[in-house]
Structure 1
């Protein structure tokens, strides 16, 4: 399946007002494109995206799927700061991941193929996930709190031996969901 990058538009003002920046692929620094790091609304026209509050794909992550975000609160932002973004890979219908209690794929393991608003309800007795294996073409968003709240982190196909591999400050994960692309 061919990779498609999608299209996303960032606006300086709320409700899609002010200067705008249109992006079709990786953008490692908004300022290099003549756009300040102030983003108050976003329109995702196609694809799924991950935004970062700092340039060079660093800092807090924001998952942006098809639709309109008229203010930064809608994408779980605590400020209007965003400095870089990239599209999330094109995904098929094969979503599967395994979470592990210990680093390096040790301890209790749980396989998931569907969104999970609260890991405890699936028999996961801990608030932490220390390793993850993502299979197929799917991408998943991990949340620190139940019901898809709190800081979020994206994991795509591959092995993550420790929470530092998905750039989280701790192993705290209490809910997770699949990322859906809409082209």
Structure 2
């Protein structure tokens, strides 16, 4: 049975108070030792849990998980549901070292994508999922800056049809691709984080 965990008061949105709970398991199919997280966790080892995760159950909320401690390395987006083996969240191995909840404020999605740094160059606005950005009029496959408006979070993918490395962006301004921890500006598909409860 899971313990109730609440976001700290500084992170609560008065109009949308919710629980976020994710449970990591060392073994496949939810077996072995487990670690339950309800908020930011910068290092699983600090909680007595090794960095080997073979299955995950997201009981509520959505999380961005990282294969290294301190919110670094490859990002994985885990939404409400069950993941009986690491391949289900598109990982190549069972390494995972940190995680944090994705901040959702509501259901209104809007973002502007810019080909240049600091919101320069060609711009495209999105309000819904896009499996191939070039179909929306972008002439290149690189996005160097983003403005996220509205309430929801987005997942950026390096390849079309929601494949490849992924990155989460939440409400705010991102002047360069490095601000969402990308090694390069190649983004070819984008989707909303929608499977939240």
- After superposition, where does 1:79-90 map in structure 2 within 5 Å? 79-90=93-104
Q: Distance in 1 between matches of 2:119 and 2:25?
A: 42
SS of corresponding position for 2:67: strand
Do 1:51 and 1:62's aligned partners in 2 also have CA atoms closer than 8 Å? yes
1:47 maps to which of 61, 67, 75: 61
- After superposition, where does 1:39-118 map in structure 2 within 5 Å? 39-118=53-132
RMSD: 1.1
Query: Residue 16 of structure 1 aligns with which residue?
Result: 30
- Normalising by structure 1, we get a TM-score of 0.97
SS of corresponding position for 2:118: helix
Query: Residue 35 of structure 1 aligns with which residue?
Result: 49
- Normalising by structure 2, we get a TM-score of 0.90
Q: Distance in 1 between matches of 2:93 and 2:172?
A: 31
Query: Residue 174 of structure 1 aligns with which residue?
Result: 188
SS of corresponding position for 2:135: helix
Greater relative contact order: 1 or 2 (C-alpha under 8 angstroms, separation 6 or more)? 1
Query: Residue 135 of structure 1 aligns with which residue?
Result: 149
Query: Residue 3 of structure 2 aligns with which residue?
Result: none
- Specify every segment of 5 or more residues in structure 1 that has no aligned partner in the other structure, as ranges: none
1:121 Cα deviation after fit: 1.5
1:4 Cα deviation after fit: 3.0
1:90 Cα deviation after fit: 2.4
Superposed CA deviations along residues 86-141 of structure 1, whole A, max 9, x for unmatched, are: 10112312100000011111111000000001111112121100110000111110
Q: How many residues align?
A: 183
Query: Residue 159 of structure 2 aligns with which residue?
Result: 145
1:123 maps to which of 137, 142, 147: 137
